[in-house]
Amino acid sequence: MRGAKRALDSLTFSIAQGEHVAILGPNGSGKSTLIKAITRECYPVQGSGLRILGQDRWNVFDLRVQLGIVSNDLAQTCARDIKGREAVLSGFFSSIGLMPYHEVTPEMEKKADEVLELLEVPHLADRWMDEVSSGEARRILIGRALVHDPRALVLDEPTTSLDLRATWEVHEILRKLARSGITIVMVTHHLPDLIPEIGRAILLKQGRVFHDGPRAESLSQPMLAQLFDMPPEVFSAVSSSL
C-alpha cells in the first residue's frame, strides 16, 4: 500500500540468477514501488512476502551489498560536489560520498579504479559529479552499484535525460555487463532501453502482472497496445516511425 492506494496487488513472479529481465509498464503501474520493495524502502502488507536471493528477511545493509541499484532518485542525490572516484567508493558504504568515519582500504581504491576502467571512464575519477554530463554521471553511478560485486544490477529508467550518444554509450556498457554474467533487471517504460541480451519482459499494469513471457511475445504490437491503452493501428504507426 502507498497511503490508501493499493500500489502492488497479487504481484507474483521470479527471476533466476543470471537471467536478464525487463519490467515494463506505463506511469502509475507500480514500477517505482516495486523497486522500493526490492530495496526495502517499502514493505508488503502483513501476510504478503518478498523473497530476495532466497531469503525472506534481510539486514538492509547486507542486502545492499548483494544488489546494485541505479535509480533516478540516486542520480539526483549524487549531483553534488563529490568526485567520481569518491562516488564509486561510497558504494562500499551505501552512502552518498564519503564520511570521515569511513575507512577506505587500498583494496577498495583498487576495486574502484578497476570498475572505472571497466566502464571506460577512468578519466572521470577526479571530476566533480556536478560538472560531468548526464551520461558520464550515469556510468559513475553504475560503477557505484558494481563496486562490491553484486549478484544483480537493478536499473530504474537507465537513460532518462540522456542524449542519443550518451544513451548509446550506456547501452553498450550494459551489454558488456550482461555478457559478464551479472543478473540485469531493467525497470522502464522506454522500449529502446531494452538491450538485445534481455530475453524476457514482465509487463505491469495497475499494480499487477499483465503479462510475463519471452521478449518477442511480450513486445508484440497487440500486447503493448493493450498495456499502454493505445489503439493497435496507432501503436503500429509509432513502431514503424522508430
The answer to whether position 155 is within a domain reads no
Statement: residue 237 has pLDDT above 60? no
The kind and range of the H/E element at 148 are: none
Task: Look at residue 145 and tell me if it is in a domain.
Answer: yes
Domain shared by 88 and 26, yes or no? no
Phi, psi of 204 (to 5 degrees): -105, 140
* Closest alpha carbon to 227 in 87, 27, 43: 27
This prediction's pTM: 0.86
Whether residue 78 sits in one domain with residue 107? yes
Question: Which residue, of 150, 178, 195, is where some domain finishes?
Answer: 150
- Are 95 and 46 in a shared domain? no
Instruction: Mark whether 203 and 168 lie in a shared domain.
Output: yes
Residue whose entry in the numeric block shows the C-alpha cell 548483494: 66
For residue 157, being part of any structural domain is answered with no
Displacement of CA 179 from its chain's centroid (Å): 17
Domain boundary among 100, 116, 150: 150
Q: What is the pLDDT of residue 172?
A: 93
Dist CA 132 CA 189 (whole Å) = 26
Residues 145 and 84 in one domain: yes
Please state, in angstroms and as integers, the Cα–Cα distance from residue 228 to each residue in 191, 197, 218, following that order.
12, 24, 13
pLDDT band at 86 (very low <50, low <70, confident <90, very high): very high
The residue type at 202 = I
Q: Range of 209's domain?
A: 1-53+162-242
Asked whether residue 82 falls in the same domain as residue 145, the answer is yes
CATH number at residue 49: 3.40.50.300
Provide the pLDDT for residue 202.
96
Same domain assignment for residues 7 and 49: yes
Residues 121 and 185 in one domain: no
Task: Summarize pLDDT for 8-47 with one digit per residue, the tens.
Answer: 888 888 898 889 999 999 988 999 888 888 887 887 877 6
d(CA 55, CA 52): 5
- 242 contact partners, CB below 8 Å, separation of at least 6: 192
- Is 61 contained in some domain? no
CA 204, chain centre distance (Å):
16
Residue 230 located in a structural domain: yes
Helix axes 164-180, 134-146, angle to 10 degrees: 20
Same domain for 45 and 93, yes or no, is no
Same domain, 111 and 49: no
Q: What share of the chain is helix, strand, coil (3-state, %, to 5)?
A: 40, 15, 40
Decide which of 150, 185, 208 is a domain's last residue: 150
- For residues 88 and 126, membership in a common domain is answered with yes
Together in a domain, 229 and 175: yes
225 assigned to some structural domain: yes
| CA distance linking residue 178 with residue 185, whole number of Å | 10
pLDDT of residue 3: 79
pLDDT digits (tens, 9 = 90+) for 96-147: 888 889 999 999 999 999 999 999 999 999 999 989 988 898 999 999 999 9
> What is the separation of C-alpha 130 from the centre of its chain, rounded to a whole number of angstroms?
21
**Which range, of 40-44, 80-84, 104-108, 235-239, averages the lowest pLDDT?**
235-239
Q: What b-and-e string marks burial along 48-67, b requiring 16 or more CB atoms within 10 Å of the CB?
A: eebebeeeeebeeeebbeeb
- Hey, what amino acid is at 233? E
For 136-191, what is each residue's pLDDT tens digit?
Answer: 989 999 999 999 899 899 999 988 888 898 999 999 999 999 999 899 999 998 88
| Domains of the chain: total | 2
The radius of gyration of the chain's CA atoms, rounded to the nearest angstrom, is 18
